[in-house]
Amino acid sequence: MEIYGRVRRAVRVEGRSQRAVAREFGLSRETVRKMLQYAVPPGYQRQQRINRPKLGPWLGVIDAILSDDKQRPVKQRHTAKRIFDRLKEEHQFTGGYTIVKDYVRSATLRSQEMFVPLTHAPGEAQADFPPQRIKRGSPGTPDFGEALVVIAGVEQKAHYLAMDLPHSDDCFVVEFPAETTEAFLEGHVRAFAYFGAVPTRILYGNTKIAVAKILGGEERQRTRAFSELQSYYLFADKFGGPAKGNDKGKVEGLVGYARRSFMVPIPCFNSWEEFNAYLEVQCRKRRERRLRGHSETIG
């Protein structure tokens, strides 16, 4: 999966010819051409729609559950196992769990690809899980932070993804009920939409959501979910040294700044959507500030 994203980036972002990329990676030009058509490997292409005799009558029920989940807090959305249990208990489903799990996964992937695709390549970013005009060459990083919040009257711990553009000091913060792969991916999609572009490179820590294995030095074996995100949005990555938070000091500082500035006193909102709308307003207000020694605002 990693070579798939590297090939797409070499042509789509770096502007190299398909012939040169095919020669470098030892691939045929036809293979490179097919890689450019899809963000993830399409695999075997069936000539007819898959026949799901054991699932067909229940597809409408599953789709309705998944559609309704989009309006619910992330922590209270259905897992494939929960959908399977409900099908058996409420709809007399007689099939197995695997076929339900596979359909839910494919439906979730299709839904993720409905987000706005941003293909232009601006500057770099930092992100941490505890863009304004993006300038080429500004490093950037994501990170997750934690804070106590009250949502719908329930006091709980929130996990927020923070993404920083150190060159301009612009930032984005979004909250989730849990630090999951889904939250990590959705946080990136929301950040790219907020900045209006996709950074050319993003600096990360060694979160298990993105890194399956540290191979030594700067080499990493990336997770499939992260590789698919990278192949779709075509950004380069860089990972800090193990246990070295100072590699991405700007975003580490943003995690603390966001907690102190946006979440004191303890925030109380009716829903996660309402809370995140508030956070976006705070980020936009911050854009109007002038940093010390600068004549222009952050935005």
Show the domain range for 31: 2-35
219: in domain: yes
Q: Are residues 76 and 192 in the same domain?
A: no
Residue range 207-212: average pLDDT?
91
Q: Is the pLDDT of residue 121 over 50?
A: no
Confidence of residue 286 (pLDDT cuts 50, 70, 90): confident
The span from the CA of 244 to the CA of 125, in Å, is 18
Confidence of residue 129 (pLDDT cuts 50, 70, 90): low
Q: Are residues 78 and 162 in the same domain?
A: no
pLDDT tens-digit series, residues 55-85: 778 888 998 999 888 887 776 788 888 899 8
Q: Are residues 91 and 21 in the same domain?
A: no
Angle at CA 43, nearest 5°, toward 37 and 46? 100
Q: Is the pLDDT of residue 120 over 50?
A: no
297: in domain: no
Of 1, 16, 4, 5, nearest to 235 by C-alpha is 5
Q: Are residues 102 and 63 in the same domain?
A: yes
Question: Do residues 282 and 261 lie in contact, with contact meaning Cβ atoms separated by under 8 Å?
Answer: yes
Helix%, strand%, coil% for the chain, nearest 5 = 45, 20, 35
Element housing 81 (H / E): helix 80-91
Q: Three-state DSSP class for 218? A: coil
Confidence of residue 239 (pLDDT cuts 50, 70, 90): confident
Contacts of 251 (CB under 8 A, 6+ apart): 126, 127, 128, 140, 141, 142, 143, 162, 163, 164
Please report the pLDDT score of residue 226 as a whole number.
Answer: 93
Q: In the chain, pLDDT over 90 holds for what percent of residues? A: 24
- Count of domains in the chain? 3
Q: Is the pLDDT of residue 274 over 80?
A: yes
Q: Are residues 104 and 195 in the same domain?
A: no
Q: Are residues 139 and 160 in the same domain?
A: yes
90: in domain: yes
Q: Are residues 98 and 23 in the same domain?
A: no
227: in domain: yes
Q: Are residues 106 and 150 in the same domain?
A: no
- Dihedral sign for Cα 232, 238, 240, 246, please: negative
Q: Are residues 143 and 252 in the same domain?
A: yes
Q: Are residues 75 and 21 in the same domain?
A: no
Please report the pLDDT score of residue 24 as a whole number.
Answer: 85
Which of 32-36, 165-169, 233-237 is predicted with the least confidence, judged by mean pLDDT? 165-169
pLDDT tens-digit series, residues 149-208: 999 999 999 999 999 887 777 889 999 998 899 999 999 999 998 988 888 889 888 889
Q: Are residues 148 and 208 in the same domain?
A: yes
